[in-house]
Every structure is written in C-alpha cells, then in structure tokens.
C-alpha cells in the first residue's frame, strides 16, 4: 500500500529553493519512499526536528544527491506529512 503524501509549507519552501529538475527528482524519491515508509525510516535525532526521517542518495547527472525527508505519519495511517526536506550534493 502506498501512502498519500502531504507536503507541509516548510517542506515546499525547502524544495522551492532548489532548481526545478532537482526538486522534481526529490519528489520522485519521496513517492518511491511512500510505497514502503516503515522499512526505510527511523525516528529523528539531532540535527533533525522531531518526527521520522527517511534518508537516501541518488544520482542526478554527474552529482550524487543526499536527501533527508522529515515526516510524520497521519492519524489515518494512510498519509505521510512531509515536514522538511534537507538536501546536499557532491
């Protein structure tokens, strides 16, 4: 079962600061994650805000992109509320 994604305003702002092709690639990674969030997440700890976090790396052209997506499960147990998106590339 894939969870529905709800992007909270801070997460939308995080993505809005990135070039649109990279933001689109991150959105695709979040959708992939929504298919199995329990197996690929953990509770947050510093430096992340409270919640759950999903971390992954992916290739974008010649860059390796690291993302950390902070989220909370919805009360309906079918929704992921994405709170923040942290991004680095190297």
Q: How confident is the model at residue 16 (pLDDT cuts 50, 70, 90)?
A: very high
Tokens linked to 12: 């939308």
CA torsion angle 3 40 30 83 (round to 10): 80
Domain that holds residue 79: 4-89
Please report the pLDDT score of residue 40 as a whole number.
Answer: 86
- pLDDT of 1 > 80? The answer is no
Domain count across the chain: 1
38 CB-contact burial (10 Å; exposed 0-12 / middle 13-18 / buried 19+): exposed
Percentage of the chain beyond pLDDT 70 is 100
Q: Write down the residue that tokens 């010649």 correspond to.
A: 62
Residue 60 sits in a domain whose CATH number is 3.30.2310.20
What beta strand segments (E) does 10-78 contain? 42-43, 52-60, 63-73
Residue 65: C-alpha distances to residues 30, 57, 58, 86 (Å) = 13, 5, 5, 10
Question: What pLDDT, in 10s, does the model give residues 23-59?
Answer: 999 999 999 999 989 888 999 999 899 999 999 998 9
pLDDT value, residue 79: 97
């Amino acid at each position: 079962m894939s969870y529905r994604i709800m992007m909270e305003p801070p997460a939308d702002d995080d993505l809005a600061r990135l070039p649109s092709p990279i933001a689109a690639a991150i959105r695709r990674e979040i959708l992939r994650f929504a298919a199995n969030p329990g197996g690929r997440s953990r509770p947050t700890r510093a430096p992340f805000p409270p919640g759950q976090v999903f971390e992954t790396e992916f290739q974008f052209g010649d860059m390796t992109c690291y993302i950390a997506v902070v989220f909370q499960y919805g009360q309906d147990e079918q929704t992921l509320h994405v709170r923040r998106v942290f991004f680095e590339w190297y």
